[in-house]
Chain A
Amino acid sequence: MMKNFAAIFLLTSVSFGQLQLNGAGATFPYVIYSKWFDVYKKKTGIQFNYQSIGSGGGIKQVIEGTVDFGATDGPMSDEQLAEAKTKQGTDVLHIPTVMGAVVATYNLPEIGSDLKLTPDVLAGIFLGEITKWNDARMAAVNKDRKLPDKSIIVVHRSDGSGTTFIFVDYLTKVSETWKTKVGKGTSVNWPVGLGGKGNEGVAGLVKQTDGSVGYVELAYAVKNNLSYASIQNKVGNFVKPSLESVTAAAIGESKSLPADLRVSITNASGKDSYPISGFTWLLVYANQKDKTKGKALIDFLKWAVTDGEQFAAELLYAPLPKDVVKLCEKKIASVSLP
């Protein structure tokens, strides 16, 4: 049913003669993508129609072949890639575009900003094992603070989202208990806590509730002046989330990125790396079916990962480091035209 609607939609959009590329997917990179589409249209006249329906929806549309490109915050699984291959007869490539991070935001008026959290403590809180702010494990890394004897109220996202994926992907890497008990996905079975809808729902609950802790996108936390914690990274440093420390995470991992670039960079190595960081990807077919459209898409991708990156910082996305841009260009060059 959905496919038919999308097909009708595509027909109407193509019939105007002007070249238009249709995409759908992640909401997180929507702001920078719209900027790119806008700037690129002024430059070349190519129209983009991007529907930010969520990463899951983007992957579905790529599998069904109803869009020219997709976008996602969590990489496609092997099964999904196989399904896309059977249905569309081509591989799907992951092209990283920008990076984001997830921060632990909290409401403790007596502490203020810059609380320190270790991976163990963070996992313990979200597992419901650490229930008081003055827990010994918490106090051990915040010796300079007087932690209050308050209950911790956990807040998480209730809607399925890429933000949740990055956060639980990190917890899965740092906590064996989390891995076996909860696991990772865009929605999970949370052991404790209240669910807020969207970044604004989580942030709103945290702001209202004394003693609460939740997780939101870095960009959202910065724009709304939330207080967020420094997290201890793989090498043991406490790193404050910032665009620089997120890019640092990609630099830390750039030597060991797999060929398909379909990788999570949470818990990255490198001394300045913020550990809860992740890429967001554009999804493109390896074998393009339409020459004009394929060519336009390739040109756009090349432009986006090079010139396009300059718009990232002002829109609070972390730009890709040079090494990763090179890998992207190589990947884009491998897209074949009919």
Chain B
Amino acid sequence: MSIGIHRELLTPHVNVGDAVFKNLTRFFALLIVGMVVLMAFEMYGSAKLSIEKFGWQFLVRSVWDPVKEEYGALPFIYGTLVSSALALIIALPLSIGIAVFLAEIAPRWLERPLSFFIELLAGIPSIVYGLWGFFVMVPWIRTTVEPALSSTLGFIPLFRGAPYGIGMLAAGMILSVMVLPIVSSISRDVLRAVPRSQKEAALALGSTRWEATRIALSYSRSGIIGAIILGLGRALGETMAVTMVIGNRPTISASLFEPGYTMASVLANEFTEATSQMYLSALIEIALVLFLMTIIVNSFARLLVWSVTKHGDAARRT
């Protein structure tokens, strides 16, 4: 806000070109807001039939029967949340480790190519992840990972059941690979933004490298949380790769070996052949739920990232 006041003080007379430019860019910016609002409005309109018929029950019902026209989104919401959470649980320690190594430990000649490879991971199309997951990772999970888990941790219901290979575990694992580059590269940038003075002060006081890193980590805590939530956003919306390995079964089961289903997957799978009005409407309501969930997650991330940059600015000024 304060910066805006300064800008006006510096330019007392209004230039026509500037005014046009200002309004044009403002229009572009508002266009985005308009699009989001329009999307939500359009989806609400198309989902109305289902919203009116099922009400709030839609969110807690577990039945999905296109033949009898009975719809409920719970297994999809559950599948989306669990697969994404699983992805974060696997990806988080890895990403933070990578970020710390890149920002604090790696020599420059190693850091550059490593960063390049990690960002390369982010650019691979999700269908490629899906195919790799389906033909390489799933057989490996079936023959190695699941038998190993059930023989060691089989006393926990999470790791019981027949080793199909595809299922919630496979979905979580493929998502973790996809989330990894986002979380690690943002965390690296956040760690780099920690003022040198802080680390140098810690080192000067006789702390070890690990202790100095811990200080840097705690300094960039909210930024890393922001990175995690952006990663979560990616995991929530991922469609193709998940569809290929999750088993596409709308059930809620305790075991990670069992198949599941996500909101994005059911849309990708059933939208093209949904012919009845109610069926389409129920699918669009799922899209609406996913849309709202993503908006909430993203605004949360924005807030966190925004708060950390403010902290960073404050620190730099002092």
Chain A interface (Cβ within 8 Å of chain B)?
Answer: 1, 53-57, 59-60, 77, 80, 151, 153, 158-161, 182-190, 193-197, 201, 204-205, 208-209
Q: Which A residues touch B248, using CB under 8 A?
A: 158, 194-197
Contact across chains for B166 and A56 when beta carbons are under 8 A apart: no
- The residues in B between 261 and 292 inclusive whose CB is less than 8 angstroms from any CB of A are 261, 265, 268-275
Contact across chains for A190 and B274 when beta carbons are under 8 A apart: no
Contact A159 to B66, CB < 8 A, known contacts A195-B247, A197-B248: no
Interface residue? B65 (CB, 8 A): yes
- The residues in B between 24 and 39 inclusive whose CB is less than 8 angstroms from any CB of A are none
Contact across chains for A197 and B243 when beta carbons are under 8 A apart: yes
Chain B interface (Cβ within 8 Å of chain A)?
Answer: 42, 63-68, 134-135, 138-139, 142, 162, 164-166, 243-244, 247-250, 259, 261, 265, 268-275
Q: A56 vs B276: C-alpha distance in the bound complex, in angstroms?
A: 9
Q: A80 vs B259: C-alpha distance in the bound complex, in angstroms?
A: 34
Q: Which A residues touch B243, using CB under 8 A?
A: 158, 197
Contact across chains for B273 and A160 when beta carbons are under 8 A apart: yes
Contact across chains for A159 and B272 when beta carbons are under 8 A apart: yes
A27: nearest chain-B partner, CB-CB: B272
Contact across chains for B66 and A185 when beta carbons are under 8 A apart: yes
B250: nearest chain-A partner, CB-CB: A189
Q: How far is the CB of B163 from chain A (nearest CB, A)?
A: 10
Contact across chains for A183 and B273 when beta carbons are under 8 A apart: no
Name the contact of B244 in the complex, choosing from A59, A151, A161, A201 (C-beta under 8 A).
Answer: A201
Q: Which A residues touch B244, using CB under 8 A?
A: 197, 201
15 more A-B residue pairs beyond the given contacts A189-B68, A205-B166, with a C-beta to C-beta distance below 8 A? A54-B273, A56-B272, A80-B275, A153-B164, A158-B243, A159-B269, A159-B272, A160-B269, A160-B272, A183-B67, A188-B65, A188-B66, A194-B247, A197-B248, A209-B164
Contact across chains for B68 and A159 when beta carbons are under 8 A apart: no
A185: nearest chain-B partner, CB-CB: B67
A-B contact pairs, 5 of them (CB 8 A): A57-B273, A160-B269, A187-B269, A189-B68, A193-B249
Q: Which A residues touch B162, using CB under 8 A?
A: 151, 153
Contact across chains for B270 and A208 when beta carbons are under 8 A apart: no
Q: A153 vs B268: C-alpha distance in the bound complex, in angstroms?
A: 24
Contact across chains for B142 and A208 when beta carbons are under 8 A apart: yes
B64: nearest chain-A partner, CB-CB: A189
Q: How far is the CB of B284 from chain A (nearest CB, A)?
A: 12
Q: Which B residues touch A187, using CB under 8 A?
A: 66, 269-270, 273-274
Q: Which B residues touch A208, using CB under 8 A?
A: 138-139, 142, 165
Q: How far is the CB of B44 from chain A (nearest CB, A)?
A: 14
B275: nearest chain-A partner, CB-CB: A56
Contact across chains for A54 and B272 when beta carbons are under 8 A apart: yes
Contact across chains for A186 and B65 when beta carbons are under 8 A apart: no
Name the contact of A204 in the complex, choosing from B63, B135, B272, B273 (C-beta under 8 A).
Answer: B135
Contact A189 to B165, CB < 8 A, known contacts A160-B272, A197-B244: no
Q: A201 vs B240: C-alpha distance in the bound complex, in angstroms?
A: 12
Q: Which A residues touch B138, using CB under 8 A?
A: 208
Q: How far is the CB of B138 from chain A (nearest CB, A)?
A: 7
Contact across chains for B273 and A55 when beta carbons are under 8 A apart: yes
Contact across chains for A190 and B249 when beta carbons are under 8 A apart: yes
B163: nearest chain-A partner, CB-CB: A209
Q: How far is the CB of A109 from chain B (nearest CB, A)?
A: 15
B273: nearest chain-A partner, CB-CB: A160
Contact across chains for B68 and A183 when beta carbons are under 8 A apart: yes
Contact across chains for A209 and B165 when beta carbons are under 8 A apart: yes
Q: How far is the CB of B178 from chain A (nearest CB, A)?
A: 17
Q: A187 vs B276: C-alpha distance in the bound complex, in angstroms?
A: 12
Contact across chains for B272 and A189 when beta carbons are under 8 A apart: no
Contact across chains for B135 and A59 when beta carbons are under 8 A apart: no
Contact across chains for B272 and A53 when beta carbons are under 8 A apart: yes
Contact across chains for A204 and B134 when beta carbons are under 8 A apart: yes
Name the contact of A159 in the complex, choosing from B65, B249, B273 (C-beta under 8 A).
Answer: B273
Contact across chains for B66 and A189 when beta carbons are under 8 A apart: yes
Q: How far is the CB of B260 from chain A (nearest CB, A)?
A: 10
Contact across chains for B166 and A194 when beta carbons are under 8 A apart: yes
Q: A205 vs B248: C-alpha distance in the bound complex, in angstroms?
A: 13
Q: How far is the CB of A95 from chain B (nearest CB, A)?
A: 19
Q: How far is the CB of A83 from chain B (nearest CB, A)?
A: 9
A53: nearest chain-B partner, CB-CB: B272
